[in-house]
Structure 1
Amino acid sequence: MSLLSVIVPCYNEEENVDCFYEELMKNTPFFEKEGLELEILYVDDGSKDRTVEEVKDLRKRDERVHLISFSRNFGKESAIYAGLQKAKGDYVVMMDADLQDPPSLLPEMFSYIKEGYDSVATRRVTRKGEPPIRSFFARMFYRLVNRISKTEIVDGARDYRLMTRQVVDSILQMTEYNRFTKGIFGWVGYSTKWLEFENVERAHGETKWNFWKLFIYALDGITAFSTVPLALASFMGVLFCFVAFLLILVIVIKTLAIGDPVGGWPSMVCIICMVSGVQLFCLGIVGQYLSKTYMEVKKRPIYLVKEEL
């Protein structure tokens, strides 16, 4: 018998705890056929509703259900890492509690693992139900990050992924505090089969990811897997030094030739404002990398567990 660990990050998902479990259990004939035992790890990311209570009630009915409850909200990336650390399975799968990751795909995913793939990942082929502006910026992010990074991050990739023990152990070796799991999956490599499916609406509740949170998450992804922005800042610095030198020559020659000490001040003000803006932009880029370094060197734990069952 092999053990399959199912990691389910949760944040305010009280309405979805039971729904997810019931949907997962529809695969029971498949689990029995393949000789798979289950452990279901609900990772509560500091929920403010009755998520913890719902998981405890579920555990009373099925001892294969386990709870890892954080002391506060640390974010989904921390919940994923905690689940991977606690998972004991020969195979590990991560799924969202809101049923946007269909458990019905598990038999097909496992069939590819048996064929020899190290992991089977999923990606959405449509963004039905998302605001158009959010979909646009999401596509632009994937195009940008794949141009400036050596790590491939697939457009529409979900965290829904089935992995062998070897892949999980490799991911756990990456202990950075600022985590971008989609990039980590690509960085560790291994043979991966991609399954495509159409976007599925949440079963209950609302998404916890607003535009601002996604923007910050995108910045984390860029700074975690590319140093091109730093190179861009350096290039712009050299470029504007060269432009400034040319402007000095122009001003000196013009003053010596025709005088005109007052004329041209509006254009000079515009140039000063533009250069100052570029300097602040480049300083912001450096600040982003410096802030990530600051968080790493403090060596704070990625999460704190309040309760574990």
Structure 2
Amino acid sequence: MSIKDKSAVLSLVVPVHNEEATVNIFYDTLQNIKKELPVAINFYFIDDGSDDKTLSIVKSLNKKDESVHYLSFSRNFGKEAALYAGLQHADGDYVAVMDVDLQDPPELLPEMLSEVMAGPYDAVGTRRVDRRKTKIVRTWFSTRFYKWMNRVSQMHLVEGARDYRVMKRQMVDAILSLPENQRFSKGIFTWVGFHTKYIPFEDRDRVAGKSSWTFWNLTKYGIEGIVSFSTLPLTIVTFLGLFSFGLAVVAGIFIVARALIDNTSVAGWPSMATIILFIGGIQLLSLGVIGRYLSAVFLEVKRRPVYIIKEGR
């Protein structure tokens, strides 16, 4: 395929949730970028149950531009569901994923697509190299998360990697072959393999509006990633159980030996209460970890759909 091929199509998947302030700005910005692309482009806006004017704005774009398509969920299913729906419906030769708030630099799109078309890469992604515009606490936890994931899982997550990327059709089909309900796209993008290059960029503010990603949402998202791609927490729980059991055996032997030698009872309610709380804490922690994995299995075996479409065009 030549570097410039207007017969080829790039499908741009854009999840949106309560983004009435950003959709038109995003669309207008991409119209300028569109001129620099070596292929035709189609937009796939995935409305994740917005309760503002986001859907009506997308519908108006759909009416005036035949390259704009949209799907609207029956409720909010989350960004992962929106990404999955977009990838399922995008039918271009190349597929890109991009946030609507323009924190993903749109000016990188032509370079990313050209690299995929001309080079040996199956995908070109992006990574944020600084987080100067992000709160310090969130930045610290984000850095720790990437380091932890790379230690406990059998894959390598590039620190600061964004969902923003351009992929060949073969890679998209591989991603869609994973039918799991509990999805962690950053891990899935890495797990399927394929030759991927990452382009660095500096942090930037949202073009408008307010992010719906709270610290608690990000924490839950991180836990889902660990549960989806690592069983190390279960191994840690196993060793904690063995450790507490060994400690109890040693303590039991010591107590019996002391009773036989001194013929006195072992006093000390504080120490006894400490031991009970220690063992109980380990048990509750273990049950919590096992329960989180069990809940993931529970959600998967029910085979509920990842999302439900209310309307689309």
Match for residue 70 of structure 1? 73
Deviation at 1:177, TM superposition (A): 0.4
Partners of 2:297 and 2:136 in 1: CA distance: 34
Deviation at 1:260, TM superposition (A): 3.4
Instruction: Encode CA deviations 1:175-199: one digit per residue, 9 max, x unaligned.
Output: 1000000000010000001100001
Instruction: Encode CA deviations 1:196-254: one digit per residue, 9 max, x unaligned.
Output: 00011101111111111111101100000000111111111111111100000010011
Does structure 1 retain, via aligned residues, the 8 Å contact 2:127–2:160?
yes
Deviation at 1:111, TM superposition (A): 2.2
Deviation at 1:75, TM superposition (A): 0.1
Match for residue 26 of structure 1? 32
Deviation at 1:115, TM superposition (A): 1.1
Query: Residues 1-309 of structure 1: matches in 2 within 5 Å?
Result: 1-31=7-37, 34=38, 36-113=39-116, 114-309=118-313
Deviation at 1:259, TM superposition (A): 3.3
Instruction: Encode CA deviations 1:243-283: one digit per residue, 9 max, x unaligned.
Output: 10000001001111123325222111101101110111011
The percent identity for this pair of structures is: 48
Deviation at 1:17, TM superposition (A): 0.8
Instruction: Encode CA deviations 1:140-199: one digit per residue, 9 max, x unaligned.
Output: 111111100001111111110100000000000011000000000010000001100001
Query: Would you identify which runs of 4 or more consecutive aligned residues in structure 1 move more than 4 Å?
Result: none
Gaps of 5+ in 2: 1-6
Q: Secondary structure, in 3 states, of the residue corresponding to 1:40?
A: strand
Q: Secondary structure, in 3 states, of the residue corresponding to 1:67?
A: strand
Partners of 1:259 and 1:137 in 2: CA distance: 54
Instruction: Encode CA deviations 1:40-80: one digit per residue, 9 max, x unaligned.
Output: 00000000100010011112221110110000000000000
Q: Secondary structure, in 3 states, of the residue corresponding to 1:63?
A: coil
Partners of 1:8 and 1:259 in 2: CA distance: 76
Gaps of 5+ in 1: none
Partners of 2:61 and 2:114 in 1: CA distance: 29
Does structure 1 retain, via aligned residues, the 8 Å contact 2:17–2:49?
yes
Which range is displaced more, 224-233 or 57-66? 57-66
Q: Secondary structure, in 3 states, of the residue corresponding to 1:30?
A: coil
Per the normalisation by structure 1, the TM-score is 0.97
Q: Secondary structure, in 3 states, of the residue corresponding to 1:195?
A: strand
Partners of 1:122 and 1:88 in 2: CA distance: 22
